[in-house]
Structure 1
């Protein structure tokens, strides 16, 4: 991550603060090493705690509610999903000048997959489809609306604004007329008219863990909730090559309308991310560039 700040309201977090928080609230872990874990995430800081745990702390106020939601829902989701998800081991509270709740999780091994460097793309596509199908099949009541889970049109203003921003950044080389046409296809696609389904709603490569090319865990459920099932089609364009993308689509039985909405939603996120993170978060910016290329190549 660049030294330039991703957000103007980032709360300062360092190793010493994390050590004080852990020692003050979880004295049984006070002697364990604390080491910042490099992450391309934009909302949370992560610190390894010993060999088997990780401390996750919101960087901005907007991430604070995610902590509470994960504590409530992850234990319930873990029992009905085929893929391991984070396990909360400790519920931290504001202290030492740090203003929000934070959590200690069991460490999940694995690496983030990288688009263009997948060792088993077709098998990974099958794994991802199995996870998405399992999420959709959850019947637990009382879920919140998923972040970005509403109608595609709810993203229109921010998407068009991002396209105009990119017109002013010619060095990025984005064909703004072409991406606008894809976006308008998504707006014209029939809306989801079924009941809302459970969604992870942020299936970015940074929220997936793989080992030997296979999906081992899905993390960061801060956007989860109910909404349009097209929201969980993100991996089709942010990660999978064309042949594996087809496997993913076929495994989920995605119709044309949902595919067009999913493509538009994924593109929207990339278009918004690129101007925001191009100088502050290389991982997010590079993924956004990949999505834009993948979408335009498919169209």
Structure 2
């Protein structure tokens, strides 16, 4: 059964049927994300409505795990508070979640470098606890880099200097950084909880400060270095040392792997940005800007 178009009348009807105490709150569209549409519900809540085939599974995962984790995290997150069940009106699950105010960092980058470095380091130090039995396993991202060793060079070669914002010498530097990350010793500790999708569209900013972390659909257990790539994906140039000081657990091998994860995620952001420049479905021009900024930080520009 194909999901119907998501509209304010449909959402109000779903709330009247399943969560009638919320049905009189104001409903307004907020954003169209990669997997879900986001609608504001009153001042403090949001409706997350799936729009891709994989989205229902991601929403169920968030609903299963995030409520227990959220109270201990030092930044606000969109905690799922209620679950909407599939019905004849809408055939997939959906959630009512806490609204996290702020502007996504792909549209308003972090400018308060020290605050953001310390806030992000504290957040990931808190999140990166050993995951319990039954935690969602990683699906490539979150695992070792070596299986991706041949993927990065090809993707980099497919991008022009205009796409990446760097010339030949810096491209060689980026390739050497990748090779060093792949060669770094693998994670030997227990799998830890990971956000696993920490790019600029998944954090929010207010007055230049990092104020919240969004979209835990990729939540899984794996190598913490995956998330530590956020030091270059999210933070201004020069903020990485302060971030790692706040995080307090990173050894040299972790930092090498983290740079690799930042590098390959930067290429993914640029690909999405190119699609946006061409007007293709799923394209987001702001992601391309974020990917190029990441590369500039990695090569020291």
Question: Which category of TM-score, normalised to the shorter sequence, fits these structures?
Answer: 0.7 to 0.9
Measure, in 2, the Cα distance between the counterparts of 1:115 and 1:29: 31
Q: Which residue pairs with 1:281 in the alignment?
A: 284
Segment drifting more, 187-196 vs 154-163:
154-163
3-state DSSP of counterpart to 1:221: coil
**Unaligned regions of 5+ residues in structure 2, if any?**
277-282
Matched, 1:218 2:213: yes
Alignment partner of 1:130 is 2:122:
yes
2:114–2:239 CA contact under 8 A, matched in 1: yes
The match for 1:232 is 227
Query: Could you tell me how far apart the structure 2 residues matched to 1:285 and 1:70 are?
Result: 27
Report the alpha carbon displacement of residue 115 of structure 1 after superposing the two structures with TM.
8.7
Matched, 1:261 2:254: no
C-alpha distance in 2 between matches for 1:206 and 1:10 = 25
Show the counterpart of 1:4: none
Tell me the residue number matched to 1:62: 54
Shift of 1:171: 5.3
Distance between the aligned counterparts of 1:116 and 1:216, measured in 2? Answer: 12
Cα RMSD between the aligned structures? 2.8
Relative to the length of structure 1, the TM-score reads 0.84
Measured against aligned partners, the alpha-carbon deviations of 1:45-65 in whole angstroms (never above 9, x if no partner) come to 101112221111222112221
Normalising by structure 2, what TM-score?
0.83
What is the SS of the residue equivalent to 2:190? coil
Q: Which residue of 1 aligns with 2:298?
A: 295
For these two proteins, the number of residue pairs brought into alignment is 288
Q: Secondary structure at the match of 1:21?
A: helix
SS at match of 2:43: coil
Q: Which of 174, 189, 205 pairs up with 1:194? A: 189
* Alpha carbons of structure 1 residues 272 and 159: separation in structure 2 relative to 1, 3 Å: farther
Structure of greater relative contact order (alpha carbons < 8 Å, 6+ residues apart): 1
More deviation in 74-83 or 263-272? 74-83
Query: Whole-Å Cα distance in 2 between the matches of residues 140 and 228 of structure 1?
Result: 14
Q: Is the 8 A contact 2:163 2:270 kept in 1?
A: no
Q: Distance in 2 between matches of 1:119 and 1:270?
A: 19
